C-alpha cells in the first residue's frame, strides 16, 4: 500500500470523508511553510496600508486600523498546497475580499484579480471565483491568533478552493484587470488556475 493510500485509510479511521482530500494530496495536522524570498518584518503597522486599484470606480487605500474597523468574517475550511499536503478544518478570520472590492466599485470590464505583495510577489485569479460572500478573505488571524510572519502577517489572501499559492501572503494591493495574466509562480510553470481536485499544478495539468 502506497503512502497516499495509507494516508487516505487513516482519514477514514478518523471518521473523515476521504473525498475531502484532492487526488495526489496527503493530509497533515501540521502547517508546512512554502514561500519565495524573505519574510518581511513589521515593527510598526502605522505606516502599513492596502490599496485597491485597476478597473474600479473608486480606488481605495486603507490603513491597518481602517481595515480592522470593518466587520470581520470567520470561516472554517480545508486548505491544499501544491506541494501535496492538505490541512482540514482550519479557522480563519479577516475581512471579506468581495466586500472590499465592492466598496471600490468593480467596473463591468473587470474579469480577473492580481494580488501584489511584498518583494514583488504576485498571484492571479478570476474575479468570478471570489464574487460570493464568505468565499475569500483578507485574513489576519489563523486559529484565533494573529498570523505568524511565515504565514503572511499582517495580512494574506485566503482563496481556499484553489491551491494555496493563490492565497498570497503579505498582500499590499489588489488590482482588477480586463483579462488574465500570470503571477509569479504562473510565470515559472505553475497552472494559471490551480484547482486541487483537477490536480492543476503545472502548465497543461487538468482541464
Please provide the distance, in angstroms rounded to a whole number, between the alpha carbons at the two ends of the chain: 29
For residues 125 and 166, the answer to whether their CB atoms sit within 8 Å is yes
Tell me what pLDDT residue 136 has.
95
For residues 92 and 142, the answer to whether their CB atoms sit within 8 Å is yes
Tell me what pLDDT residue 46 has.
95
Helices of type H across 76-166: 97-104
What 3-state DSSP class applies to 96?
Answer: strand
Tell me what pLDDT residue 33 has.
85
Is the domain defined by 3-198 classed in CATH 3.90.420.10? yes
Each residue's pLDDT, cut to its tens digit, for the chain (207 residues) gives 788 889 888 888 999 899 999 999 999 999 988 777 789 999 899 999 999 999 999 999 999 999 999 999 999 999 999 999 999 999 999 999 999 999 999 999 999 999 999 999 999 999 999 998 888 999 999 999 999 999 999 999 999 999 999 999 999 999 999 999 999 999 999 999 999 999 999 998 876
Read off the C-alpha cell for 187.
510565470
Tell me what pLDDT residue 206 has.
76
Cα–Cα distance measured from residue 138 to residue 105, given in angstroms and rounded to the nearest whole number: 17
Tell me what pLDDT residue 34 has.
75
Taking Cα atoms as reference points, which of 79, 44, 60 lies closest to residue 154?
A: 44
Helices of type H across 37-156: 64-68, 97-104
Tell me what pLDDT residue 32 has.
86
What's the sign of the alpha-carbon dihedral 200, 153, 71, 89?
positive
The CA radius of gyration of the chain, in Å to the nearest whole number, is: 17
Tell me which residue has cell 499582517.
154
Amino acid at each position: 500500500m502506497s503512502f497516499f493510500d495509507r494516508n487516505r485509510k487513516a482519514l477514514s479511521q478518523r471518521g473523515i470523508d476521504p473525498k475531502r482530500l484532492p487526488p495526489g494530496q496527503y493530509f497533515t495536522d501540521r502547517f508546512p511553510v512554502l514561500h519565495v524570498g524573505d519574510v518581511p518584518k513589521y515593527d510598526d503597522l502605522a505606516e502599513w496600508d492596502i490599496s485597491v486599484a485597476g478597473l474600479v470606480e473608486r480606488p481605495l487605500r486603507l490603513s491597518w486600523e481602517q481595515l480592522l474597523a470593518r466587520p470581520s468574517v470567520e470561516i472554517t475550511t480545508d486548505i491544499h498546497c501544491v506541494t501535496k499536503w492538505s490541512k482540514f478544518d482550519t479557522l480563519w478570520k479577516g475581512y471579506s475580499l468581495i466586500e472590499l472590492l465592492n466598496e471600490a466599485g468593480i467596473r463591468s470590464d473587470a474579469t480577473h484579480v492580481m494580488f501584489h505583495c511584498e518583494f514583488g510577489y504576485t498571484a492571479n485569479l478570476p474575479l468570478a471565483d471570489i464574487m460570493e460572500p464568505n468565499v475569500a478573505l483578507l485574513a489576519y488571524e489563523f486559529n484565533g491568533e494573529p498570523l505568524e510572519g511565515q504565514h503572511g502577517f499582517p495580512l494574506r489572501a485566503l482563496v481556499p478552493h484553489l491551491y494555496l499559492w493563490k492565497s498570497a501572503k503579505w498582500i499590499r494591493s489588489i488590482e482588477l484587470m480586463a483579462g488574465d495574466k500570470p503571477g509569479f509562480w504562473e510565470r515559472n510553470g505553475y497552472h494559471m488556475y490551480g484547482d486541487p481536485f483537477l490536480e492543476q499544478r503545472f502548465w497543461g495539468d487538468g482541464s
